[in-house]
């Protein structure tokens, strides 16, 4: 498994012969230079979407149409896009699991919001979610944008993820100290990768508090376009 950070909350996950794009934000992403855009999405097989905020969704439809690959996400928005945009979608909901050519993806709760702007005002794009991704003998938890929440208790106990990608930049999500608290209290991760930080000055710029808060856990500060091999 190769986990490649595309900056902010965006990832490229190469696993089990598939390439999953998680919330791919290319256009206007200050962390990802334009020269890396093609490489970031090369050979992608699926797009996974956690929620509809612009910094997660702005490139999803263009990429789905250009690459001719399905978007995987919450049923409400996927159904609408399938009809209105003519793209292939895989819609499901919290608690559901879909099989992406041998990769099992389960949708789990998050605590955030999921809106987008239209000429007619703000609209809701389903609700915010995270994913548990089972492949190659690992369970990867992608938190999506979220705060600490009590649901993490049963999620950690039931799915037992060993790897986590945690939004931890603060202001819009839990911060590094909060992510460390959640990881320690609710999970037993071997590897933790923070995200949704460094992008803007308002966000946390270092994972030091996460690293210090999780002794014995391999906390990896990702570098943009540098593969983390699991």
- Where exactly are the structural domains of the chain? 2-229
Task: Specify whether the CB–CB gap between 58 and 32 falls below 8 A.
Answer: no
- Output the CA–CA distances (angstroms, integers) from residue 122 to 23, 58, 71, 81, in the order listed: 20, 15, 22, 17
CATH domain 2-229 topology = Metallo-beta-lactamase; Chain A (3.60.15)
Per DSSP, the three-state class of 78 is helix
Residues shown for the chain? 230
Q: How many CB atoms lie within 10 A of CB 115?
A: 15
Q: How many CB atoms lie within 10 A of CB 114?
A: 24
Query: Phi first, then psi: what are they for 207, rounded to 5°?
Result: -100, 20
The set of residues, in sequence order, having a beta carbon less than 8 Å from that of 201 and lying 6+ positions away, is: none
Per DSSP, the three-state class of 159 is helix
CA distance 206 to 168: 10
CA distance 207 to 197: 9
Spell out the per-residue pLDDT of the chain, length 230, in tens.
999 999 999 999 999 999 999 999 999 999 999 999 999 999 999 999 999 888 888 999 999 999 999 999 999 999 999 999 999 999 999 999 999 999 999 999 999 988 877 788 877 878 999 999 999 999 999 999 999 999 999 999 999 999 999 999 999 999 999 999 999 999 999 999 999 999 999 999 999 999 999 999 999 999 999 999 99
Closest CA to 129 of 112, 147, 104: 112
What is the value of pTM for the model shown?
A: 0.96
């Amino acid at each position: 498994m190769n986990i490649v950070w595309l900056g902010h909350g965006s990832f490229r996950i190469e696993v089990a012969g598939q390439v999953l794009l998680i919330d791919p934000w290319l256009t206007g992403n200050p962390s990802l230079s334009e020269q890396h855009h093609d490489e970031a999405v090369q050979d992608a097989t699926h797009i996974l979407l956690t929620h509809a905020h612009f910094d997660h969704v702005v490139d999803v439809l263009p990429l789905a149409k250009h690459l001719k690959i399905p978007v995987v996400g919450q049923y409400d928005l996927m159904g609408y896009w399938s009809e209105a945009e003519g793209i292939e979608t895989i819609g499901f909901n919290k608690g559901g699991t879909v099989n992406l050519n041998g990769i099992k993806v389960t949708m789990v709760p998050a605590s955030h919001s999921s809106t987008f702007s239209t000429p007619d005002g703000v609209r809701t794009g389903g609700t915010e979610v995270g994913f548990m991704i089972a492949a190659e003998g690992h369970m990867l938890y992608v938190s999506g944008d979220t705060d600490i929440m009590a649901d993490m208790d049963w999620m950690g106990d039931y799915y037992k993820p060993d790897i986590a990608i945690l939004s931890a930049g603060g202001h819009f999500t839990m911060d590094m100290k909060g992510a460390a608290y959640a990881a320690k209290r609710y999970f037993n991760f071997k590897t933790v990768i923070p995200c949704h930080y460094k992008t803007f000055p308002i966000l946390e710029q270092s994972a030091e508090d996460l690293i210090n808060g999780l002794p014995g856990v391999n906390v990896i500060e990702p570098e943009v376009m540098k593969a983390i091999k699991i």
